[in-house]
Structure 1
Amino acid sequence: MDRQDASRLTPLAEALLALAEAEVARGARVIFVAGPQGVGKSTAMAAMTSAIPGSVALGLDAFYLTRNERMALARDVHPLFETRGPPGTHDVALLRDTLARLKASGAEERIPVPAFDKAEDERRPEAEWPVLAGAPRVIFVEGWMMGVAADLSAPEAAPLNAVEAEDEAGAWRAYQEAQLAGPYQRLWDMADAFLYIDAPGFDTVLGWRMQQEETTLGVAPGGLPPARQAWVSRFILHYQRLTERLLAGERRPGLSVAVDRFRQPK
Protein backbone atom coordinates (compact mmCIF):
# COMPACT_ATOMS: atom_id res chain seq x y z
CA MET A 1 0.00 0.00 0.00
CA ASP A 2 1.33 3.48 -0.82
CA ARG A 3 0.15 6.94 0.16
CA GLN A 4 -2.29 7.02 -2.77
CA ASP A 5 -4.21 4.18 -1.13
CA ALA A 6 -5.15 6.32 1.87
CA SER A 7 -8.85 5.86 1.14
CA ARG A 8 -8.47 2.23 2.20
CA LEU A 9 -7.28 3.23 5.68
CA THR A 10 -9.55 3.69 8.67
CA PRO A 11 -9.91 7.32 9.77
CA LEU A 12 -7.85 6.56 12.87
CA ALA A 13 -5.06 4.96 10.81
CA GLU A 14 -5.15 7.89 8.40
CA ALA A 15 -4.78 10.39 11.24
CA LEU A 16 -1.94 8.44 12.83
CA LEU A 17 -0.25 7.96 9.47
CA ALA A 18 -0.15 11.72 8.91
CA LEU A 19 1.61 12.18 12.26
CA ALA A 20 3.95 9.25 11.69
CA GLU A 21 4.97 10.41 8.21
CA ALA A 22 5.98 13.78 9.63
CA GLU A 23 8.24 11.99 12.11
CA VAL A 24 9.68 9.53 9.58
CA ALA A 25 10.58 12.42 7.29
CA ARG A 26 13.18 13.42 9.90
CA GLY A 27 15.10 10.16 9.40
CA ALA A 28 15.15 6.68 10.93
CA ARG A 29 12.87 6.79 13.96
CA VAL A 30 11.63 4.74 16.89
CA ILE A 31 8.01 5.76 17.48
CA PHE A 32 5.96 4.60 20.46
CA VAL A 33 2.19 4.55 19.91
CA ALA A 34 -0.08 4.59 22.98
CA GLY A 35 -3.82 4.09 23.07
CA PRO A 36 -6.37 2.49 25.39
CA GLN A 37 -7.63 -1.03 25.02
CA GLY A 38 -10.04 -1.58 22.15
CA VAL A 39 -9.35 1.72 20.37
CA GLY A 40 -8.00 -0.01 17.28
CA LYS A 41 -4.21 0.27 17.69
CA SER A 42 -3.45 -3.07 16.04
CA THR A 43 -5.56 -2.31 12.97
CA ALA A 44 -4.06 1.15 12.67
CA MET A 45 -0.52 -0.20 13.09
CA ALA A 46 -1.02 -2.76 10.34
CA ALA A 47 -2.18 -0.01 7.99
CA MET A 48 0.69 2.29 8.94
CA THR A 49 3.40 -0.32 8.43
CA SER A 50 1.88 -1.20 5.06
CA ALA A 51 1.86 2.45 4.01
CA ILE A 52 5.36 3.36 5.21
CA PRO A 53 8.14 1.45 3.41
CA GLY A 54 10.83 0.00 5.65
CA SER A 55 8.72 0.07 8.81
CA VAL A 56 8.22 -2.68 11.37
CA ALA A 57 5.90 -2.93 14.34
CA LEU A 58 6.34 -4.42 17.79
CA GLY A 59 3.63 -4.81 20.43
CA LEU A 60 4.17 -4.39 24.15
CA ASP A 61 1.84 -7.37 24.69
CA ALA A 62 4.35 -9.66 22.98
CA PHE A 63 6.85 -8.98 25.76
CA TYR A 64 4.94 -10.24 28.79
CA LEU A 65 6.90 -12.14 31.38
CA THR A 66 6.46 -15.90 31.22
CA ARG A 67 3.59 -17.33 33.22
CA ASN A 68 5.97 -18.74 35.86
CA GLU A 69 7.62 -15.33 36.25
CA ARG A 70 4.26 -13.61 36.68
CA MET A 71 3.04 -16.22 39.15
CA ALA A 72 6.20 -15.62 41.18
CA LEU A 73 5.41 -11.90 41.12
CA ALA A 74 1.87 -12.62 42.30
CA ARG A 75 3.24 -14.77 45.10
CA ASP A 76 6.01 -12.44 46.24
CA VAL A 77 4.42 -9.00 45.72
CA HIS A 78 0.62 -9.20 45.38
CA PRO A 79 -1.93 -11.67 43.94
CA LEU A 80 -3.27 -9.00 41.56
CA PHE A 81 -0.17 -9.57 39.43
CA GLU A 82 -1.76 -12.80 38.22
CA THR A 83 -3.47 -10.51 35.69
CA ARG A 84 -1.09 -9.52 32.91
CA GLY A 85 -0.93 -6.00 31.56
CA PRO A 86 0.01 -3.58 34.34
CA PRO A 87 3.58 -2.28 34.72
CA GLY A 88 5.81 -5.00 36.11
CA THR A 89 4.29 -7.81 34.04
CA HIS A 90 6.47 -7.15 30.98
CA ASP A 91 10.02 -8.24 30.19
CA VAL A 92 11.22 -4.68 29.63
CA ALA A 93 14.86 -5.75 29.36
CA LEU A 94 13.96 -8.10 26.49
CA LEU A 95 12.07 -5.34 24.68
CA ARG A 96 14.95 -2.89 25.09
CA ASP A 97 17.41 -5.50 23.84
CA THR A 98 15.19 -6.26 20.82
CA LEU A 99 14.92 -2.57 19.98
CA ALA A 100 18.68 -2.12 20.27
CA ARG A 101 19.32 -5.09 17.98
CA LEU A 102 16.87 -3.80 15.36
CA LYS A 103 18.41 -0.32 15.45
CA ALA A 104 21.93 -1.70 15.03
CA SER A 105 21.12 -4.41 12.48
CA GLY A 106 22.25 -4.50 8.89
CA ALA A 107 19.98 -5.08 5.92
CA GLU A 108 20.92 -8.76 5.70
CA GLU A 109 20.27 -9.55 9.35
CA ARG A 110 17.14 -11.22 10.66
CA ILE A 111 16.00 -10.45 14.21
CA PRO A 112 13.62 -12.81 16.08
CA VAL A 113 11.02 -11.05 18.21
CA PRO A 114 8.93 -12.64 20.98
CA ALA A 115 5.35 -13.81 20.54
CA PHE A 116 2.81 -14.33 23.31
CA ASP A 117 -0.10 -16.77 23.23
CA LYS A 118 -2.91 -15.06 25.13
CA ALA A 119 -5.14 -18.13 24.97
CA GLU A 120 -2.44 -20.16 26.73
CA ASP A 121 -1.34 -17.17 28.83
CA GLU A 122 2.27 -17.98 27.99
CA ARG A 123 5.16 -16.80 25.84
CA ARG A 124 5.59 -18.98 22.78
CA PRO A 125 8.75 -21.09 22.36
CA GLU A 126 11.58 -19.15 20.73
CA ALA A 127 11.45 -21.46 17.71
CA GLU A 128 7.98 -20.01 16.97
CA TRP A 129 8.96 -16.34 17.20
CA PRO A 130 8.47 -14.23 14.07
CA VAL A 131 11.60 -12.87 12.40
CA LEU A 132 11.98 -9.27 11.22
CA ALA A 133 14.32 -8.04 8.50
CA GLY A 134 17.16 -5.81 9.63
CA ALA A 135 17.86 -2.11 9.07
CA PRO A 136 14.26 -0.83 9.39
CA ARG A 137 13.58 2.80 8.52
CA VAL A 138 11.07 3.17 11.35
CA ILE A 139 10.26 0.99 14.33
CA PHE A 140 6.78 1.32 15.83
CA VAL A 141 6.09 -0.01 19.32
CA GLU A 142 2.43 0.02 20.33
CA GLY A 143 0.99 -0.48 23.77
CA TRP A 144 -1.74 0.83 26.02
CA MET A 145 0.56 2.71 28.42
CA MET A 146 3.54 3.81 26.33
CA GLY A 147 4.98 7.05 27.69
CA VAL A 148 2.96 7.25 30.91
CA ALA A 149 4.61 9.04 33.83
CA ALA A 150 5.26 7.49 37.23
CA ASP A 151 3.52 8.80 40.36
CA LEU A 152 5.19 7.49 43.49
CA SER A 153 2.40 8.96 45.65
CA ALA A 154 -0.27 6.80 43.98
CA PRO A 155 -0.06 3.91 46.52
CA GLU A 156 -1.15 6.35 49.24
CA ALA A 157 -4.23 7.51 47.33
CA ALA A 158 -7.72 6.16 47.94
CA PRO A 159 -8.67 3.17 45.75
CA LEU A 160 -10.29 4.13 42.45
CA ASN A 161 -12.29 0.93 42.09
CA ALA A 162 -13.02 -2.53 43.47
CA VAL A 163 -9.77 -4.03 42.14
CA GLU A 164 -7.62 -1.38 43.79
CA ALA A 165 -9.58 -1.95 47.01
CA GLU A 166 -8.05 -5.44 47.09
CA ASP A 167 -4.64 -3.79 47.32
CA GLU A 168 -5.16 -2.69 50.92
CA ALA A 169 -1.50 -2.01 51.74
CA GLY A 170 -0.74 -0.47 48.33
CA ALA A 171 1.88 -3.10 47.43
CA TRP A 172 0.46 -3.71 43.95
CA ARG A 173 0.38 -0.01 43.10
CA ALA A 174 3.76 0.67 44.73
CA TYR A 175 5.48 -2.00 42.63
CA GLN A 176 3.89 -0.64 39.44
CA GLU A 177 5.02 2.91 40.17
CA ALA A 178 8.56 1.76 41.01
CA GLN A 179 8.69 -0.11 37.71
CA LEU A 180 7.39 2.95 35.84
CA ALA A 181 10.00 5.15 37.51
CA GLY A 182 12.80 2.73 36.61
CA PRO A 183 12.75 0.14 33.79
CA TYR A 184 9.81 1.62 31.88
CA GLN A 185 11.23 5.15 31.94
CA ARG A 186 14.47 3.78 30.48
CA LEU A 187 12.35 2.14 27.79
CA TRP A 188 10.58 5.44 27.08
CA ASP A 189 14.03 7.02 26.66
CA MET A 190 14.60 4.85 23.58
CA ALA A 191 11.77 6.53 21.66
CA ASP A 192 12.37 9.35 19.21
CA ALA A 193 8.69 10.28 19.26
CA PHE A 194 5.37 9.40 20.90
CA LEU A 195 1.96 9.23 19.22
CA TYR A 196 -1.07 9.16 21.51
CA ILE A 197 -4.66 8.15 20.81
CA ASP A 198 -6.86 9.96 23.32
CA ALA A 199 -10.23 8.46 24.23
CA PRO A 200 -13.19 10.56 25.45
CA GLY A 201 -12.88 8.90 28.86
CA PHE A 202 -12.42 5.66 30.73
CA ASP A 203 -16.12 4.74 30.48
CA THR A 204 -15.76 4.65 26.70
CA VAL A 205 -12.77 2.31 27.00
CA LEU A 206 -14.92 -0.23 28.84
CA GLY A 207 -17.40 -0.30 25.96
CA TRP A 208 -14.59 -0.74 23.44
CA ARG A 209 -13.13 -3.59 25.44
CA MET A 210 -16.52 -5.31 25.47
CA GLN A 211 -16.68 -5.01 21.68
CA GLN A 212 -13.16 -6.37 21.40
CA GLU A 213 -14.14 -9.40 23.47
CA GLU A 214 -17.18 -10.00 21.27
CA THR A 215 -14.95 -10.00 18.20
CA THR A 216 -12.43 -12.32 19.84
CA LEU A 217 -15.13 -14.83 20.81
CA GLY A 218 -17.05 -14.44 17.54
CA VAL A 219 -20.35 -13.43 19.14
CA ALA A 220 -22.86 -10.86 17.91
CA PRO A 221 -22.83 -7.32 19.35
CA GLY A 222 -24.34 -7.41 22.81
CA GLY A 223 -24.09 -11.20 22.86
CA LEU A 224 -21.42 -11.70 25.51
CA PRO A 225 -22.60 -14.07 28.23
CA PRO A 226 -23.16 -12.30 31.59
CA ALA A 227 -20.21 -14.10 33.18
CA ARG A 228 -17.87 -12.86 30.44
CA GLN A 229 -19.25 -9.34 30.71
CA ALA A 230 -18.48 -9.43 34.41
CA TRP A 231 -14.97 -10.67 33.68
CA VAL A 232 -14.30 -7.83 31.22
CA SER A 233 -15.73 -5.26 33.64
CA ARG A 234 -13.34 -6.42 36.35
CA PHE A 235 -10.38 -6.89 34.02
CA ILE A 236 -10.48 -3.31 32.73
CA LEU A 237 -10.31 -1.93 36.29
CA HIS A 238 -6.67 -3.05 36.49
CA TYR A 239 -5.91 -0.31 33.93
CA GLN A 240 -8.10 2.55 35.12
CA ARG A 241 -5.59 4.62 37.10
CA LEU A 242 -2.92 4.69 34.40
CA THR A 243 -5.41 5.14 31.55
CA GLU A 244 -6.86 8.20 33.27
CA ARG A 245 -3.33 9.45 33.99
CA LEU A 246 -2.46 9.22 30.30
CA LEU A 247 -5.65 10.99 29.29
CA ALA A 248 -4.86 13.76 31.79
CA GLY A 249 -1.58 14.39 29.96
CA GLU A 250 0.78 12.90 32.55
CA ARG A 251 3.07 11.39 29.93
CA ARG A 252 6.06 12.02 27.70
CA PRO A 253 5.61 14.88 25.21
CA GLY A 254 4.22 13.76 21.88
CA LEU A 255 1.64 14.17 19.14
CA SER A 256 -1.94 13.10 19.72
CA VAL A 257 -5.16 12.19 17.97
CA ALA A 258 -8.39 12.58 19.96
CA VAL A 259 -11.17 10.19 18.97
CA ASP A 260 -14.86 10.06 19.80
CA ARG A 261 -16.72 7.06 21.19
CA PHE A 262 -17.01 5.65 17.66
CA ARG A 263 -13.19 5.79 17.34
CA GLN A 264 -13.44 8.55 14.77
CA PRO A 265 -10.77 11.27 14.98
CA LYS A 266 -12.14 14.60 16.12
Structure 2
Amino acid sequence: MLVDRLDSVVRHALAGQARRPLVLGLCGAQGSGKSTLAAALSRRLAEAGVTVAVLSLDDLYRTLAEREALARTVHPLLRTRGVPGTHDIALGLAVIAALERGETAALPRFDKARDDRMPRAGWPHAPAGTQVLVLEGWCVGALPQAPAALAEPVNALERREDAQGLWRGYVNRALAGDYQRLFARIDVLVFLAAPDFATVYDWRKQQEDALRMRVGDDAPGVMADAALARFVQHYERLTRHMLADMSGRADMVVELSEDRCVKRIALREG
Protein backbone atom coordinates (compact mmCIF):
# COMPACT_ATOMS: atom_id res chain seq x y z
CA MET A 1 0.00 0.00 0.00
CA LEU A 2 1.39 3.40 -0.98
CA VAL A 3 0.81 5.04 2.39
CA ASP A 4 2.76 2.23 4.06
CA ARG A 5 5.77 2.81 1.81
CA LEU A 6 5.57 6.55 2.30
CA ASP A 7 5.25 6.17 6.05
CA SER A 8 8.39 4.03 6.05
CA VAL A 9 10.32 6.58 3.99
CA VAL A 10 9.32 9.42 6.32
CA ARG A 11 10.20 7.47 9.48
CA HIS A 12 13.60 6.60 8.03
CA ALA A 13 14.24 10.24 7.11
CA LEU A 14 13.15 11.43 10.56
CA ALA A 15 15.59 9.07 12.21
CA GLY A 16 18.44 10.34 10.09
CA GLN A 17 18.26 14.06 10.72
CA ALA A 18 18.07 16.39 13.69
CA ARG A 19 16.60 19.39 11.90
CA ARG A 20 12.88 19.86 12.35
CA PRO A 21 10.48 19.90 10.78
CA LEU A 22 11.18 17.32 8.14
CA VAL A 23 9.58 18.71 4.98
CA LEU A 24 8.01 16.13 2.68
CA GLY A 25 7.29 17.49 -0.79
CA LEU A 26 4.40 15.75 -2.52
CA CYS A 27 3.86 16.67 -6.16
CA GLY A 28 1.74 15.41 -9.02
CA ALA A 29 -0.64 16.65 -11.67
CA GLN A 30 -4.20 17.72 -11.01
CA GLY A 31 -6.36 14.81 -9.92
CA SER A 32 -3.46 12.50 -9.09
CA GLY A 33 -4.51 12.06 -5.47
CA LYS A 34 -2.05 14.33 -3.65
CA SER A 35 -4.51 15.68 -1.09
CA THR A 36 -5.93 12.23 -0.35
CA LEU A 37 -2.47 10.77 0.12
CA ALA A 38 -1.32 13.70 2.27
CA ALA A 39 -4.34 13.25 4.54
CA ALA A 40 -3.84 9.51 4.85
CA LEU A 41 -0.15 9.90 5.65
CA SER A 42 -0.93 12.61 8.18
CA ARG A 43 -3.38 10.33 9.99
CA ARG A 44 -0.90 7.46 9.96
CA LEU A 45 1.90 9.56 11.42
CA ALA A 46 -0.36 11.16 14.02
CA GLU A 47 -1.53 7.72 15.19
CA ALA A 48 2.14 6.85 15.75
CA GLY A 49 2.70 9.97 17.84
CA VAL A 50 4.43 12.03 15.14
CA THR A 51 3.35 15.68 15.13
CA VAL A 52 2.47 16.52 11.53
CA ALA A 53 0.98 19.41 9.57
CA VAL A 54 -0.11 19.68 5.94
CA LEU A 55 0.29 22.77 3.78
CA SER A 56 -1.05 22.84 0.23
CA LEU A 57 0.53 25.05 -2.40
CA ASP A 58 -3.06 25.85 -3.40
CA ASP A 59 -3.50 27.61 -0.05
CA LEU A 60 -0.65 29.98 -0.89
CA TYR A 61 -2.44 31.55 -3.86
CA ARG A 62 -2.22 35.31 -4.07
CA THR A 63 -5.40 37.20 -3.28
CA LEU A 64 -7.85 37.97 -6.06
CA ALA A 65 -6.90 41.65 -5.89
CA GLU A 66 -3.21 40.80 -6.25
CA ARG A 67 -3.85 38.57 -9.24
CA GLU A 68 -6.06 41.17 -10.87
CA ALA A 69 -3.20 43.65 -10.48
CA LEU A 70 -0.83 41.17 -12.15
CA ALA A 71 -3.37 40.74 -14.95
CA ARG A 72 -3.38 44.50 -15.55
CA THR A 73 0.33 45.13 -15.28
CA VAL A 74 1.95 41.93 -16.57
CA HIS A 75 -0.43 39.66 -18.52
CA PRO A 76 -4.18 38.92 -18.40
CA LEU A 77 -3.61 35.17 -17.94
CA LEU A 78 -2.14 35.80 -14.49
CA ARG A 79 -5.59 36.46 -13.10
CA THR A 80 -6.15 32.70 -13.21
CA ARG A 81 -4.64 31.00 -10.17
CA GLY A 82 -2.41 28.00 -10.55
CA VAL A 83 0.90 28.66 -12.28
CA PRO A 84 4.09 29.93 -10.66
CA GLY A 85 3.79 33.64 -10.07
CA THR A 86 0.25 33.34 -8.70
CA HIS A 87 1.37 32.13 -5.23
CA ASP A 88 2.56 34.10 -2.22
CA ILE A 89 5.74 32.11 -1.61
CA ALA A 90 6.72 34.33 1.33
CA LEU A 91 3.75 32.88 3.22
CA GLY A 92 5.05 29.34 2.79
CA LEU A 93 8.56 30.33 3.79
CA ALA A 94 7.19 32.06 6.89
CA VAL A 95 5.34 28.89 7.92
CA ILE A 96 8.51 26.82 7.64
CA ALA A 97 10.59 29.43 9.45
CA ALA A 98 8.16 29.47 12.38
CA LEU A 99 8.16 25.68 12.59
CA GLU A 100 11.96 25.63 12.45
CA ARG A 101 11.97 27.90 15.50
CA GLY A 102 9.74 25.40 17.25
CA GLU A 103 6.79 27.78 17.26
CA THR A 104 3.17 27.30 16.34
CA ALA A 105 2.44 28.46 12.79
CA ALA A 106 -0.74 29.70 11.11
CA LEU A 107 -1.47 27.67 7.97
CA PRO A 108 -2.94 29.82 5.16
CA ARG A 109 -6.21 28.74 3.62
CA PHE A 110 -7.68 29.66 0.22
CA ASP A 111 -11.39 29.59 -0.63
CA LYS A 112 -11.65 28.35 -4.22
CA ALA A 113 -15.39 29.04 -4.34
CA ARG A 114 -14.68 32.74 -3.72
CA ASP A 115 -11.37 32.60 -5.60
CA ASP A 116 -9.75 34.44 -2.73
CA ARG A 117 -7.78 33.89 0.44
CA MET A 118 -9.70 33.16 3.61
CA PRO A 119 -9.42 35.69 6.46
CA ARG A 120 -6.50 34.93 8.74
CA ALA A 121 -8.85 34.39 11.67
CA GLY A 122 -10.06 31.21 9.97
CA TRP A 123 -6.64 29.65 9.41
CA PRO A 124 -5.76 26.50 11.37
CA HIS A 125 -2.45 26.24 13.19
CA ALA A 126 0.41 23.76 13.09
CA PRO A 127 1.43 23.08 16.68
CA ALA A 128 4.73 24.05 18.22
CA GLY A 129 7.23 21.25 17.86
CA THR A 130 5.80 19.97 14.58
CA GLN A 131 8.04 17.14 13.37
CA VAL A 132 6.80 16.70 9.79
CA LEU A 133 5.37 19.23 7.34
CA VAL A 134 3.75 17.78 4.22
CA LEU A 135 3.99 20.37 1.44
CA GLU A 136 1.74 19.22 -1.38
CA GLY A 137 1.01 20.80 -4.72
CA TRP A 138 0.98 20.18 -8.43
CA CYS A 139 4.31 21.90 -9.15
CA VAL A 140 6.10 21.36 -5.83
CA GLY A 141 9.78 20.72 -6.56
CA ALA A 142 9.58 21.76 -10.22
CA LEU A 143 12.55 23.34 -11.98
CA PRO A 144 12.24 26.09 -14.62
CA GLN A 145 12.60 25.28 -18.28
CA ALA A 146 15.49 26.42 -20.43
CA PRO A 147 14.55 29.73 -22.14
CA ALA A 148 14.73 28.12 -25.57
CA ALA A 149 11.99 25.68 -24.57
CA LEU A 150 9.55 28.57 -24.21
CA ALA A 151 9.72 29.62 -27.84
CA GLU A 152 6.97 27.39 -29.21
CA PRO A 153 3.47 27.27 -27.69
CA VAL A 154 2.30 23.90 -26.40
CA ASN A 155 -1.46 24.38 -26.84
CA ALA A 156 -4.21 26.65 -28.15
CA LEU A 157 -4.20 28.83 -25.04
CA GLU A 158 -0.56 29.76 -25.55
CA ARG A 159 -0.99 30.26 -29.30
CA ARG A 160 -4.05 32.49 -28.99
CA GLU A 161 -3.54 34.30 -25.69
CA ASP A 162 0.24 34.33 -25.23
CA ALA A 163 1.54 34.60 -28.77
CA GLN A 164 4.52 36.71 -27.67
CA GLY A 165 5.42 34.36 -24.81
CA LEU A 166 5.12 37.06 -22.13
CA TRP A 167 3.00 34.96 -19.78
CA ARG A 168 5.01 31.79 -20.01
CA GLY A 169 8.22 33.78 -19.68
CA TYR A 170 6.97 35.43 -16.50
CA VAL A 171 5.85 32.07 -15.10
CA ASN A 172 9.24 30.51 -15.83
CA ARG A 173 11.13 33.39 -14.20
CA ALA A 174 8.90 33.21 -11.14
CA LEU A 175 9.57 29.47 -10.85
CA ALA A 176 13.32 30.16 -11.07
CA GLY A 177 13.07 32.69 -8.23
CA ASP A 178 11.50 32.36 -4.78
CA TYR A 179 9.86 29.03 -5.61
CA GLN A 180 13.33 27.48 -5.61
CA ARG A 181 13.96 28.90 -2.13
CA LEU A 182 10.82 27.15 -0.92
CA PHE A 183 11.55 23.90 -2.74
CA ALA A 184 15.12 23.87 -1.43
CA ARG A 185 13.67 23.33 2.04
CA ILE A 186 12.19 19.96 0.94
CA ASP A 187 13.96 17.01 2.54
CA VAL A 188 12.10 14.20 0.73
CA LEU A 189 10.39 14.71 -2.64
CA VAL A 190 7.66 12.33 -3.85
CA PHE A 191 6.29 12.50 -7.39
CA LEU A 192 2.95 10.97 -8.40
CA ALA A 193 3.50 10.38 -12.11
CA ALA A 194 0.48 10.38 -14.42
CA PRO A 195 0.66 8.20 -17.56
CA ASP A 196 0.45 11.28 -19.79
CA PHE A 197 -1.15 14.71 -20.00
CA ALA A 198 -4.35 13.43 -21.66
CA THR A 199 -4.98 11.40 -18.51
CA VAL A 200 -4.51 14.53 -16.41
CA TYR A 201 -7.39 16.20 -18.24
CA ASP A 202 -9.57 13.13 -17.67
CA TRP A 203 -8.77 13.14 -13.96
CA ARG A 204 -9.55 16.84 -13.66
CA LYS A 205 -12.84 16.37 -15.51
CA GLN A 206 -13.78 13.58 -13.09
CA GLN A 207 -13.22 16.01 -10.23
CA GLU A 208 -15.36 18.64 -11.90
CA ASP A 209 -18.15 16.18 -12.67
CA ALA A 210 -18.18 15.06 -9.03
CA LEU A 211 -18.37 18.68 -7.88
CA ARG A 212 -21.22 19.35 -10.30
CA MET A 213 -23.15 16.37 -8.97
CA ARG A 214 -22.64 17.57 -5.41
CA VAL A 215 -23.44 21.29 -5.71
CA GLY A 216 -25.22 21.72 -9.06
CA ASP A 217 -24.29 23.23 -12.41
CA ASP A 218 -24.86 26.83 -11.32
CA ALA A 219 -22.85 26.78 -8.10
CA PRO A 220 -19.85 29.13 -7.83
CA GLY A 221 -16.65 27.63 -9.16
CA VAL A 222 -18.26 24.92 -11.30
CA MET A 223 -16.86 24.94 -14.84
CA ALA A 224 -18.52 23.82 -18.05
CA ASP A 225 -16.48 21.44 -20.22
CA ALA A 226 -15.17 24.18 -22.52
CA ALA A 227 -14.05 26.32 -19.60
CA LEU A 228 -12.40 23.32 -17.97
CA ALA A 229 -10.49 22.47 -21.15
CA ARG A 230 -9.15 26.02 -21.31
CA PHE A 231 -8.32 26.05 -17.58
CA VAL A 232 -6.28 22.85 -17.75
CA GLN A 233 -4.18 24.31 -20.56
CA HIS A 234 -2.73 26.80 -18.05
CA TYR A 235 -1.01 23.81 -16.41
CA GLU A 236 -0.02 21.85 -19.49
CA ARG A 237 3.45 23.22 -20.20
CA LEU A 238 4.85 22.69 -16.73
CA THR A 239 3.03 19.39 -16.24
CA ARG A 240 4.64 17.97 -19.39
CA HIS A 241 8.02 19.32 -18.29
CA MET A 242 7.67 17.65 -14.89
CA LEU A 243 6.65 14.32 -16.41
CA ALA A 244 9.87 14.38 -18.41
CA ASP A 245 12.14 15.77 -15.70
CA MET A 246 10.91 14.72 -12.27
CA SER A 247 11.39 10.97 -12.56
CA GLY A 248 15.15 11.48 -12.52
CA ARG A 249 15.14 13.79 -9.50
CA ALA A 250 12.44 12.79 -7.01
CA ASP A 251 13.35 10.62 -4.03
CA MET A 252 10.26 8.48 -4.67
CA VAL A 253 8.47 8.17 -7.99
CA VAL A 254 5.02 6.59 -7.96
CA GLU A 255 3.90 5.58 -11.44
CA LEU A 256 0.11 5.67 -11.71
CA SER A 257 -2.22 3.97 -14.16
CA GLU A 258 -5.13 5.71 -15.82
CA ASP A 259 -7.40 4.61 -12.96
CA ARG A 260 -4.88 5.98 -10.41
CA CYS A 261 -3.72 2.54 -9.30
CA VAL A 262 -0.05 2.28 -8.38
CA LYS A 263 1.87 0.54 -11.16
CA ARG A 264 5.37 0.93 -9.76
CA ILE A 265 7.25 2.66 -6.95
CA ALA A 266 10.87 3.63 -7.50
CA LEU A 267 13.17 4.96 -4.77
CA ARG A 268 16.22 7.00 -5.67
CA GLU A 269 19.42 5.49 -4.46
CA GLY A 270 21.72 7.37 -2.15
How far is the alpha carbon of 1:219 from its aligned partner? 5.4
Output the CA distance in 2 between the equivalents of 1:215 and 1:24: 37
Stretches of structure 1 lacking an aligned partner (at least 5 in a row): 1-10, 221-226
Indicate conservation of the 8 Å contact 1:198/1:256, yes or no. Answer: yes
The residue number in structure 2 matching 1:262 is: 259
| 2:96 alignment partner, one of 83, 96, 99 | 99
Q: When the two structures are superposed, what TM-score results if normalisation uses the length of structure 2?
A: 0.86
Task: Give CA-to-partner distance per residue, 1:141-174, whole Å, 9 cap, x none.
Answer: 0000011111241574211101111101111011
Output the CA distance in 2 between the equivalents of 1:154 and 1:146: 23
Amino acid aligned to 1:65: R
% identity of equivalent residues = 41
Output the CA distance in 1 between the equivalents of 2:183 and 2:138: 13
The residue number in structure 2 matching 1:134 is: 128
| 1:161 alignment partner, one of 137, 155, 159 | 155
Output the CA distance in 2 between the equivalents of 1:50 and 1:128: 22
Amino acid aligned to 1:20: V
Which secondary structure does the structure 1 equivalent of 2:209 belong to? helix
Output the CA distance in 1 between the equivalents of 2:212 and 2:168: 31
Q: Within the alignment, does 1:249 sit opposite 2:239 as a pair?
A: no
Q: When the two structures are superposed, what TM-score results if normalisation uses the length of structure 1?
A: 0.87
Output the CA distance in 1 between the equivalents of 2:33 and 2:230: 21
Which secondary structure does the structure 1 equivalent of 2:261 belong to? coil
How far is the alpha carbon of 1:110 from its aligned partner? 3.0
Indicate conservation of the 8 Å contact 2:191/2:250, yes or no. Answer: no
> CA, structure 1 residues 68+30, in 2 after alignment: closer, same or farther (shift >3 Å)?
same
| 2:168 alignment partner, one of 156, 173, 177 | 173
CA RMSD, aligned part only? 2.0
Amino acid aligned to 1:143: G
Which secondary structure does the structure 2 equivalent of 1:179 belong to? helix
How far is the alpha carbon of 1:26 from its aligned partner? 2.4
The residue number in structure 1 matching 2:230 is: 234
Number of corresponding residues: 248
The residue number in structure 2 matching 1:196 is: 191
Output the CA distance in 2 between the equivalents of 1:216 and 1:132: 29
The residue number in structure 2 matching 1:147 is: 141
Output the CA distance in 1 between the equivalents of 2:93 and 2:249: 18
Indicate conservation of the 8 Å contact 1:30/1:138, yes or no. Answer: yes
Output the CA distance in 1 between the equivalents of 2:24 and 2:110: 22
* Correspondence list, 1:197-236, <5 A: 197-218=192-213, 228-236=224-232
Which secondary structure does the structure 2 equivalent of 1:248 belong to? helix
Output the CA distance in 1 between the equivalents of 2:16 and 2:224: 46
Stretches of structure 2 lacking an aligned partner (at least 5 in a row): 216-222, 264-270
Task: Give CA-to-partner distance per residue, 1:79-101, whole Å, 9 cap, x none.
Answer: 11111000000000111111111
The residue number in structure 2 matching 1:26 is: 16
Output the CA distance in 1 between the equivalents of 2:67 and 2:251: 31
Which secondary structure does the structure 1 equivalent of 2:177 belong to? helix
Amino acid aligned to 1:96: L
How far is the alpha carbon of 1:24 from its aligned partner? 3.1
> CA, structure 1 residues 104+173, in 2 after alignment: closer, same or farther (shift >3 Å)?
same
* Greater CA drift, 27-36 or 165-174: 27-36
| 1:50 alignment partner, one of 30, 43, 52 | 43
> CA, structure 1 residues 80+154, in 2 after alignment: closer, same or farther (shift >3 Å)?
farther
Task: Give CA-to-partner distance per residue, 1:100-135, whole Å, 9 cap, x none.
Answer: 111212xxx432111100000010111111122111
Amino acid aligned to 2:16: R
Output the CA distance in 1 between the equivalents of 2:69 and 2:149: 21
Task: Give CA-to-partner distance per residue, 1:217-244, whole Å, 9 cap, x none.
Answer: 2259xxxxxx711111111110011111
Q: Within the alignment, does 1:70 sit opposite 2:67 as a pair?
A: yes
